[in-house]
Amino acid sequence: MASIAIAACANRHFETDDLTLLGIKELSDGFSARRFSPVDAVDACFARINRFDGIINAFITLDQDGAREAAARASSEISAGQKRGLLHGVPIAIKDNIDVAGFPRTAASNAYTDYWPAADAEVVRRLKAAGAIILGKLNMHEVAFGATGAVSNVGPARNPWNPDRITGGSSSGAAAAVAAGFCYAAVGTDTGGSIRIPASMCGVFGLKPTYGRISADGVMPLSETYDHIGPICRSTSDISIMFDIMAGNSAPEAGEPVNSLRLGALSRPLDYCDAVFSAEIREAFDVALRVLRGGGAEIVNAALPVPDFDRIIEAEAYRYHAGAIGAEPKKFDPRTLASLMGGAEVPDIELDMARRALADRRMEAAALFHDFDLVLIPTVLRTPPTIDEADDPFDLTDACTFIFNQLGLPALTLPFGVFPDGMPMGLTIGGPPGSETRILSVADLFERRTAWNRRPVL
């Protein structure tokens, strides 16, 4: 039986000696009150990383000296009254397909181990300008072409809830690091579910914003047409803080009362594979709907179109990596190489036609929300398999995620229960273009009305 804990007024704000349990605002408030410093926070993160990442394998590269130097500077600035905002002095980490000056950008592939970017990606520049401290670069599914996280030149990241299980991918290390308390937030990418799938499987929060809302400048593309950049965190509040900075919002937008919203419940997966909700997923989903209805939202039945499974991703991925493939194909894992080579068969005219057809679909996307404001659907339809099983067909991974990439719609996953084996479930809240604030309002209500404050025991 699936389970979801309900509390009328769950209080996530608590006193603790373990700084890695705090949210970003709690940490920032502690900095301002001088109860602890960014140096303390960085030390706490590295203590957990040094103790447990030999098991979890979330990081590809760490810069302990550089992070501690940045923490010392942040501590001095905050003490001098020069605090830049809530993220100043907060330790975070970056997926290894995103440029960070001073770090190699490998994308977990032997084909790119020698690439050292000269400048930060735009999203990293914004985070650094806000005072965030970069601990290191995170493990991922090789070149982001996979939803399991099981293929990486440094070995797979492992799920903190059960290290024999996959994290999901491709932002595998990002979700694992946040869940394990190695950092307060992580930056990932999402082409078909690559933020939301691992966030769901690791019991954390992940936001894929509206297409183009966060700059992809300095990010290795998998598919420029479908790629999105977003945060992975441990709470709605932390997601909101990260999103505002990553998107360049000059001031946070006000939330919207949930009792004014109609939420559309999707009754089946959005996929070609005829998958259905399992009994445990259905049970947890029904409980989640009752929670939101109890918070004042109106729940109605809803539907979204089945994704058009064009060949844009494989075609664009092959075109980006063709030079590296031609130079040394054996540097790619055979499974990744096979996926990339599928794009070699797609002629330019077919790719151009698919892009034009997709542009038309995206123009019509907002009209899908005529009868409801947001949609709700479970994020992943089954418990994470073991890493050894991850080579088997896993067609339920992106059954509920890809449509949001295809139409460029924002979608957030948050924890809403556990499978009978104790692994986390995720609930997706999606909406029309530009509805991130509305999505976060609903997520905040759900989080406040439930007792999800679980953390894996390492």
Alpha-carbon distance 245 to 214, whole Å?
Answer: 10
Compute the CA torsion angle 455, 192, 171, 102 (nearest 10 deg).
-150
CB neighbours of residue 126 within 10 Å = 19
CA 452 from chain centre, in angstroms, equals 18
What's the pLDDT at 203?
98
Question: CA angle, corner 86, sides to 132 and 236, nearest 5?
Answer: 100
Q: Average pLDDT, stretch 402-408?
A: 95
Look up residue 341 and give its two tokens.
């080579």
Question: Is the pLDDT at 143 greater than 80, yes or no?
Answer: yes
Q: Which listed residue (28, 37, 95, 137) is catalytic? A: 95
Beta bridge mates, 266: 302
Q: 95 an active-site residue?
A: yes
CB neighbours of residue 190 within 10 Å = 29
Q: 83 an active-site residue?
A: no
Q: Where are the beta strands (DSSP E) in 145-204?
A: 185-190
Alpha-carbon distance 127 to 121, whole Å?
Answer: 10
Compute the CA torsion angle 24, 453, 402, 296 (nearest 10 deg).
-100
Percent of the chain with pLDDT over 70: 92
Of 89, 255, 227, nearest to 171 by C-alpha is 227
How many residues does this entry show for the chain?
458
144 phi-psi bin (left φ>0, alpha ψ -120 to 50, beta other): left
Fold classified for 19-308+360-449: Amidase signature (AS) enzymes (3.90.1300)
Alpha-carbon distance 301 to 285, whole Å?
Answer: 13
Look up residue 368 and give its two tokens.
């899908």
Q: 208 an active-site residue?
A: no
Q: Where are the beta strands (DSSP E) in 267-421?
A: 298-302, 374-378, 411-418
Question: CA angle, corner 210, sides to 206 and 216, nearest 5?
Answer: 85
Q: What is the pLDDT of residues 15-32, one digit of tens each?
A: 446 999 999 999 999 999
Answer yes or no: are the C-beta atoms of 434 and 210 closer than 8 Å: yes
Look up residue 160 and give its two tokens.
């903190």
Q: Average pLDDT, stretch 204-218?
A: 98
What's the pLDDT at 17?
63
- Residue 7 banded pLDDT, cuts 50, 70, 90: very low
Among the listed ranges 244-253, 344-353, 391-400, which one has the minimum average pLDDT value? 391-400
Look up residue 117 and give its two tokens.
């970017």
DSSP sequence for 72-85: HHHHHHHHTT---S
Residue carrying the six token digits 């339920």: 396
What's the pLDDT at 9?
33
Compute the CA torsion angle 357, 359, 363, 368 (nearest 10 deg).
60
The structure's pTM equals 0.95
Question: Is the pLDDT at 66 greater than 60, yes or no?
Answer: yes
- Residue 395 banded pLDDT, cuts 50, 70, 90: low
Q: What is the pLDDT of residues 150-184, one digit of tens each?
A: 999 999 999 999 999 999 999 999 999 999 999 99
Q: What is the pLDDT of residues 265-294, one digit of tens each?
A: 997 776 545 567 888 999 999 999 999 999
Q: Which residues neighbour 15 within 8 Å (Cβ) at sequence distance 6 or greater?
A: none
Phi, psi of 72 (to 5 degrees): -65, -40
Beta bridge mates, 136: 62
CB neighbours of residue 392 within 10 Å = 10
Q: What is the pLDDT of residues 251-263, one digit of tens each?
A: 666 667 888 899 9
Q: Which listed residue (194, 200, 339, 435) is catalytic? A: 194
Of 287, 304, 274, 275, nearest to 381 by C-alpha is 275
**Sequence ranges of the domains in the chain:** 19-308+360-449, 313-353
Amino acid (one-letter) located at 410: P
Question: Is the pLDDT at 433 greater than 80, yes or no?
Answer: yes
Q: Which listed residue (37, 170, 223, 240) is catalytic? A: 170
